Amino acid sequence: MTNRIFYTKPSITQLETDYAADAAATGWGARCYDYINRFERDFKTYLGSDFAIATSSCTGAMHMGLAALGIGEGDEVILADTNWVATVSPIVHLGAKPVFVDVLPDSWCIDPEEVERHITPKTKAIIATHIYGNLCDMDALLEIGKRTGIPVVEDAAEAIGSVYHGRRAGSMGAFGTFSFHGTKTLTTGEGGIFVTSDGALYERVLTLSNHGRARGQTKQFWPDAIGFKYKMSNIQAAIGCAQLERVEELVARKREILAAYMVRLSALPGISMNPEYSGTINGAWMPTAVFHPSTGTTREMMQQAFEAANIDARVFFYPLSSLDMFEDRPENANAWSIPGRAINLPSYHDMSEADIDRVAATLLEMAAGRTYHNSTALRRSV
């Protein structure tokens, strides 16, 4: 049996180990925030934003950012139906209503025309999720935001290394959020970060992030509001500092892997992958293959083929509106159609050329019908 190919795992070197060991040995008392402060400083410099707050998760960063915008009961927040549940959970926790709209068929990111069509007097924010490292049409979204006065928020959880016409993903909206989960290009194990160039918004989130204790409050243990506890640990931040020193290398390897898949699968008709348009850079967090409906290729066929080849198969996100806790929105045709004919491809940093060959060959053989031409896998509408 061949070794199993995992869909992702982090790239950890001696540098990360050394920094984490130093934080564990010395990062206490007066030094308990040393690596956190350093990580926040270095990350905002890398991104080109003025402020950053390290958090325990991207979800927590989104929760605090939306709360600081004043979003609450009766408000509406527009977001792409193609999303992980982490993007919608903070909206629901704040008592607001998520409004799911369709995505573009090529980038799989939120459709600006659909955003515009769903704006109401209750709309208080628009979330632009850069899915799998693909970039939203930020010019169109920011123009809508400027014209309507509705803040555009960037969910850049999956988009470190992605660049939109000279601006890094996460640096363009009212605020941005990133994930450093163990599956991400840059990891702290668990973790995230809130970034913004709005000083007033930063101060509100900073207060919320410390149990509601304002930075200028002189009374000890005196909260000025009900806040949150979404802090990153010093040891996590130490790993993040090491990863950030290597970020260009980490992103470059992800981009190499995506390019390698594109070369190997280029002869396969009816397949599309993560796009990279003129003036942009795709951080390529998760190489994804989407088959045209005319091919008859289904998610289940690909899952079976990968399982037989001892390869992890990670499915494309189901539309949020298909989940039991929400009302179905099948009119979001792309968000409902794409997952049933798509698959995420393995892309960990130390994949060998032979690993990439094996993944690509599995898809090519399946598409050619040599292995699964009689597949009876059930097709799902989503």
pLDDT at position 18 is 98
Mean per-residue pLDDT of the chain: 95
pLDDT at position 369 is 81
Q: What is the largest CA-CA distance in the chain?
A: 72
Q: Under the phi-then-psi rule, with left for phi > 0, alpha for psi from -120 to 50, and beta for the rest, what region is 29?
A: left
Distance CA 2, CA 169 (A): 38
From 106, 78, 104, select the one nearest 91 (Cα to Cα): 78
pLDDT at position 378 is 30
Q: Is there a contact between 362 and 309 (Cβ–Cβ < 8 Å)? A: yes
Distance CA 139, CA 161 (A): 19
Residues in CB range of 320: below 8 A, 6 or more apart: 79, 81, 82, 83, 85, 87, 88, 98, 100, 326
Set 97, 124, 146, 184: catalytic member: 184
From 117, 108, 134, select the one nearest 99 (Cα to Cα): 117
pLDDT at position 374 is 36
Q: Which two tokens stand for residue 144?
A: 């809508």
Fold type of domain 247-368: Aspartate Aminotransferase, domain 1 (3.90.1150)
Q: Which two tokens stand for residue 275?
A: 């796009």
Distance CA 352, CA 348 (A): 9
Distance CA 228, CA 226 (A): 7
pLDDT at position 1 is 58
The reply to whether 124 belongs to the active site is no
Whether 14-245 shares its CATH topology with 247-368 is answered no
pLDDT at position 373 is 41
Residue with tokens 């935001």: 145
pLDDT at position 370 is 46
Distance CA 377, CA 299 (A): 9
Q: Domain locations in the chain?
A: 14-245, 247-368
pLDDT at position 381 is 35
Fold type of domain 14-245: Aspartate Aminotransferase; domain 2 (3.40.640)
pLDDT at position 134 is 98
Q: Virtual CA dihedral for 320, 326, 332, 334, nearest 10 degrees?
A: 20
Q: Is there a contact between 169 and 130 (Cβ–Cβ < 8 Å)? A: yes
HEC string of 276-293 equals CCCCEECCCCCCEEEECH
Q: Mean pLDDT in runs of 10 for the chain (382 residues)?
A: 89 98 97 97 98 98 98 98 98 98 98 98 98 98 98 98 98 98 97 98 97 93 95 98 98 98 95 97 98 95 96 96 98 98 97 97 87 37 36
- Taking the CA atoms of the chain, what radius of gyration do you get in angstroms? 21
